[in-house]
Amino acid sequence: MAQMNLLQAINNALITAMTDDEKVMVFGEDVGHFGGVFRATSNLQEKFGKGRCFNTPLTEQGIIGFANGLASQGSVPVAEIQFGDYIFPAFDQIVNETAKWRYRSGGQFTTGTLTIRTPYGGGIAGGLYHSQSPEAFFAHIPGMKIVIPRNPHQAKGLLLASIRDDNPVLFMEPKKLYRASVGDVPEEDYELALGKADMVQEGTDITLLAWGAQVEIIQQAAKMAAEIGISCELIDLQSILPWDVEAVCESVCKTGRLLINHEAPLTGGFASEIAATVQERCFLYLESPISRVCGLDTPYPLAHEKEYMPDHLKTFEAIKRSMNF
Amino acid sequence: MQDRNHLSKVNVVSTLAVIENGLLDIPMIQLLDESGTETNPEQSPNIDEHTAKKIASTMQYIRLLDERMVGAQRQGRISFYLSCTGEEASTIGSAAALSDDDMIMSQYREQGALAYRGYSTEQFMNQMFSNQLDPNKGRQMPIHYGDKQLNFMTVSSPLGTQIPQAAGFAYGQKMAGKEAVTISYFGEGAASEGDFHAGVNMAAVLNCPVIFFCRNNGYAISTPAEEQFKGDGIASRGIGYGVKTLRVDGNDVLAVYAATKMAREIALAENCPVLIEAMTYRLAAHSTSDDPTGYRSKSEEEKWRAKDPLDRFIKWLDAKGWYDEKASEAFLDKSRAEILAAVKTAEKVDVAPIEDIIEDVYDVAPWHLKEQLESLKSHIKQYPEHYPKTAGRIK
């Protein structure tokens, strides 16, 4: 075990993957000698050479197009998009190419070895284009997997599993936690299962569901709720696509209430998908309407960041509304 | 070569003058003129008799296949078709200059390259009829071919996407120590996509052994090349990216073959991309959904029909004493019969079973796909007459 922050855990996972398999290659903007604008790829070029860790020209559609070709050749690309906000130029390559490669070729060719890493999320005074949480755009793409860790231990285990999974994975890293989240991380090689939620805390009155940096927020809200006698069950979804419907529904059937929290805007956010599914499956167990505590349906603002965010207080108030319904 | 990558290394002058495109004016290499005569025998590629005959027969076969399948589409037997008439020298001449280990990543008008690699009439038909023998399992529109054994990457409709992909594929080949290159075919219209810029630039900067082969056939559907770009075609852009570039007569097999062979040698020896712009003409309609009489003249088409790449190559073969008219007629008769029989066979083969609809989305179908399939199957069972292709076969 070693103490690592989330960035160090990601760096450690990349070193582990590159040591284990010489076909793993890491590339993107500024990831080479410089080691990435967040330092996630520090020392990789020194350790593994310029052939396996390199800078690309500044072109997101190019990075993912290149990665698609590399993956279909049999290499194991780990492509970085510097900010989740800048993944949209590569949307066509991801939606129409990466995700459909295996299906359209009848399984003859695949991009299954591809992993796309990208920092996402707000809370860092990033304004419109350094704060977005684009997971719901990608949750609408059959063929993709989407994974989001909340701490260093998860980051390493889930990233290693993503790199080795035989499907393209979008791995989204909560940049607010890059240095803020510190914890014990095994130095050895390990993987955490994709598609599985993590039970953070058991409770009996209401289920609170979140992912990434927002798990901390529902933890804070749950503490406040406990002080007034409300017992919250906390789940970290971890995988957005495919998501762990069983864990969520089992919890909701037990508590009878569900609150989903995410930073991304409400309309079309992934909470809508979860709410509709839970409503279908747990209809007779629900004691109050499913609550969604999300970002506003506005671009992500700078000066009003604090007001925009679905914080612990908004979550606490929603818990009370649900309990008093 | 001078290093032009930074301001501090740029030449300084004190004369105010603009740099014009016309100053570049990249010439087109032609080794076989319209009469079938070699223009510079010293530069002519050394094509052996077997290869020359294979190129010619593949050109004849593809022209026949195109003609028959347009007919089949008109009869409503297949949903869509797309011919490559006029461009056979570009695609087949270049494919002949490659090694079988080289990956081909095409746009959609390169069926000639696939036929040259050995794709059979049956395989063409199974794909076009979207039946269960189609390697794509009937999921894609006709002409979206792909074959792993033949190193021919499955075609997709979005234009230009294969250009950066080819750079990545070639990079992987290089890193794996393979003696192979990747060729990426695309039209001059697709070269206007952002992916062209991204892919060619990345291949140059990342030293990828890839051949970018542009079929400049004058039209992107109804849009003539002069509404597509203002510069000196596509070739001039290669120079801008620091990519070795050739412009060839795309209706001249010898020029296309020689240029591709040279490009392949350079790409392998120097680990770098090479761009070839083949100047040709899309004699065919864009597709069976298009009627070119709405946007171009008969006389323009006639002018290009006179430059027919197949006629020109046959004249050359004949001069070499390698052309046997009787054998050629017999080959065409045999191919005609083979195509007709294959159409009849392929259209009788069932589509894939309904269970296949959720396969290959992921390596293993996740819970939500399995649930959706079960729900779909019970629905089909309830209304079997509305789903005749699959209702009787539900397991």
A262-313: pLDDT as tens digits: 999 999 999 999 999 999 999 999 999 999 999 999 999 999 999 999 999 9
| Residue A55 buriedness (CB in 10 A; 0-12 / 13-18 / 19+) | middle
Residue A89 contacts B, CB cutoff 8 Å:
yes
Q: Is A207 helix (H, G, I), strand (E, B) or coil?
A: strand
Cβ atoms of A168 and A71 closer than 8 Å: yes
The backbone region for A60, taken as left when phi is positive above 0, alpha when psi lies in -120 to 50, beta otherwise, is alpha
Q: Are B234 and B214 in contact (CB under 8 A)?
A: yes
Between CA B385 and CA B222 the distance in angstroms is: 42
Reading phi first (left if > 0) and then psi (alpha if -120 to 50, else beta), residue B282 is in: beta
ipTM of the complex: 0.97
Q: Is A140 on the interface with B (CB under 8 A)?
A: no
Catalytic residue among A29, A80, A130, A216: A130
Beta-strand ranges (E) seen in chain A are 2-5, 24-28, 53-55, 76-80, 115-120, 145-147, 169-174, 182-185, 198-201, 206-210, 232-236, 239-241, 258-265, 291-295
Find the closest chain B residue to A93 by CA distance.
B161
User: Three-class SS string for chain B?
Assistant: CCCCCCHHHCCCCCCCCCCCHHHCCCCCECCECCCCCECCCCCCCCCCHHHHHHHHHHHHHHHHHHHHHHHHHHCCCCCCCCCCCCCHHHHHHHHHCCCCCCEEECCCCCHHHHHHHCCCHHHHHHHHCCCCCCCCCCCCCCCCCCECCCCECCCCCCCCCHHHHHHHHHHHHHHCCCCCCEEEEEECCHHHCHHHHHHHHHHHHCCCCEEEEEEECCEECCEEHHHCCCCCCCHHHHHHCCCEEEEEECCCHHHHHHHHHHHHHHHHHHCCCEEEEEECCCCCCCCCCCCHHHCCCHHHHHHHHCCCHHHHHHHHHHHHCCCCHHHHHHHHHHHHHHHHHHHHHHCCCCCCCHHHHHCCCCCCCCHHHHHHHHHHHHHHHHCHHHCCCCHHHCC
Dist. CA B371–CA B353, nearest whole Å: 17
Quick one: tokens of A204?
Answer: 């009996």
> Alpha-carbon dihedral of residues B385, B388, B393, B395, nearest 10 degrees?
-50
Q: Strand order in A198-201's β-sheet?
A: A198-201, A232-236, A206-210, A258-265, A291-295
Distance CA(A252)–CA(A246), nearest Å, equals: 10
In one-letter notation, the amino acid at residue A35 is G
DSSP classification of residue A127 = G
CA distance, residue A56 to nearest chain B CA (Å): 7
For residue A303, the model assigns a pLDDT of 98
Put simply, whether B197 touches A (Cβ < 8 Å) is yes
| Residue B305 appears among annotated catalytic residues | no
A97: chain B residues, CB-CB within 8 Å: 156, 158, 161, 165
Of A23, A62, A167, the CB nearest to B363: A167
pLDDT, mean of residues A191-212 = 98
Q: What is the DSSP letter of A37?
A: T
Whether chain B has a CB inside 8 Å of the CB on A245: the answer is: yes
CA distance A202 to A205: 10
What is the distance between the alpha carbons of residues A280 and A260, in angstroms, rounded to a whole number? 16
pLDDT computed for residue B1 by the predictor: 43
Residue among A65, A101, A108 whose CB faces B135 most closely: A108
Q: What are phi and psi of B355, to 5 degrees?
A: -55, -25
Among A135, A208, A228, residue whose Cα is nearest residue A174: A135
- Residues A229-254: tens digit of each pLDDT: 999 999 999 999 999 999 999 999 99
Residues 6+ apart with CB under 8 A from A5: A152, A178, A179, A180, A181, A182
Name chain B contacts of A195, Cβ cutoff 8 Å. 366
Return the pLDDT at B20: 80
**Residue B18 CB-density burial (10 A; 0-12 exposed, 13-18 middle, 19+ buried):** exposed
Predicted local distance difference test score (pLDDT) of residue B3: 59
Residues of chain A contacting B170 with CB distance shorter than 8 Å:
69
Residue A267's pLDDT is what? 98
CA distance A40 to chain B (A): 22
Q: Taking CB atoms and an 8 Å limit, are B169 and A72 in contact across chains? A: yes
Taking the Cβ of residue A61 and every Cβ of chain B, the question of whether any pair is shorter than 8 Å is answered with yes
Mean pLDDT (chain A) is 98
**What is the reported pLDDT for B4?**
59
Share of residues in chain A with pLDDT > 70 (%):
100
Contact B257, B249 (CB under 8 A): no
A window 141-200, beta carbon within 8 A of B: 142-143, 145, 166-167, 195
Confidence at residue B348, expressed as pLDDT on a 0 to 100 scale? 97
Alpha-carbon gap, residue B118 to B151, rounded angstroms:
11
Q: Which one of A93, A195, A246 has the shortest CB-CB distance to B161?
A: A93
Q: Which is nearest to A136 in space by CA: A151, A156, A120, A160?
A: A120
- Tens-level pLDDT at each residue, chain B (395 residues): 445 567 777 888 999 988 887 667 899 999 999 999 999 999 999 999 999 999 999 999 999 999 999 999 999 999 999 999 999 999 999 999 999 999 999 999 999 999 999 999 999 999 999 999 999 999 999 999 999 999 999 999 999 999 999 999 999 999 999 999 999 999 999 999 999 999 999 999 999 999 999 999 999 999 999 999 999 999 999 999 999 999 999 999 999 999 999 999 999 999 999 999 999 999 999 999 999 999 999 999 999 999 999 999 999 999 999 999 999 999 999 999 999 999 999 999 999 999 999 999 999 999 999 999 999 999 999 999 999 999 999 98
